Structure 1
Amino acid sequence: MTGRYLAVYGKTGPGRGFGELDRLVTEGPYSCMRHPMHFFLAWLPLAVALLLASPGAVLVALLEAALVLALAVTLDERESIARFGDEYLAYRRRVPAFNPSPHCLAKALGPRPPKHSREPRR
């Protein structure tokens, strides 16, 4: 669902592929967490490890989650600052990288956004 928010709100015109965002997305789960997609993807291996009930797999999954979250902040933040500049720096001051609060998780797991943004494009 977070990808849908990027597709709907991150592009000011048609013809841009995924990852070719030209607008900073701050709607939906991005209003309370800068990296919701990375947050959820980092924990997927832990879910699998718990299903396997293997202590070794759980340990590896926890280490993997920490590494993915650290890389998300390091690499994605650098790219976002280069792409959006001061706008992203202000957003970074307001919104944490990861937010496991129930309110924020509800936004991330809630209804999908519309197929097209209702707000005027810049």
Structure 2
Amino acid sequence: MPGGDISDLDKNRALVDWLRYQLRQAENRVRELEVQEEQERRRKERARAEQAWKIQPKRSGETAMLHRGGCTLFKNELGFINREEALIALAEPDIEACKICAPETGLVDG
């Protein structure tokens, strides 16, 4: 290395180190964005659930129950129903409203 010049090998090693650093930075950013995207998806899902209702099917010895979409007492696997369907369900004699989430609040008044 006459005159303090850096060899091609050293330059390329430095370039490889820099590119690895850049790749780590980009991978970290992708992970951050994936987490943000998942959080946003969950937030939208919760917001959608809060604007909907769900019906817990009748079990032996129990009546069917109407819940707010976000009620955690019943894990919804059947899908949500809209306001009109919830009003119809609430009028059914064999479906009662959940005493915890009170799905009729705002439903009958709104």
Q: Could you state the TM-score of these two structures normalised by the residue count of structure 1?
A: 0.27
More strand by proportion, 1 or 2? 2
More helix by proportion, 1 or 2? 1
Higher relative CO (Cα under 8 Å, sequence separation at least 6) belongs to 1
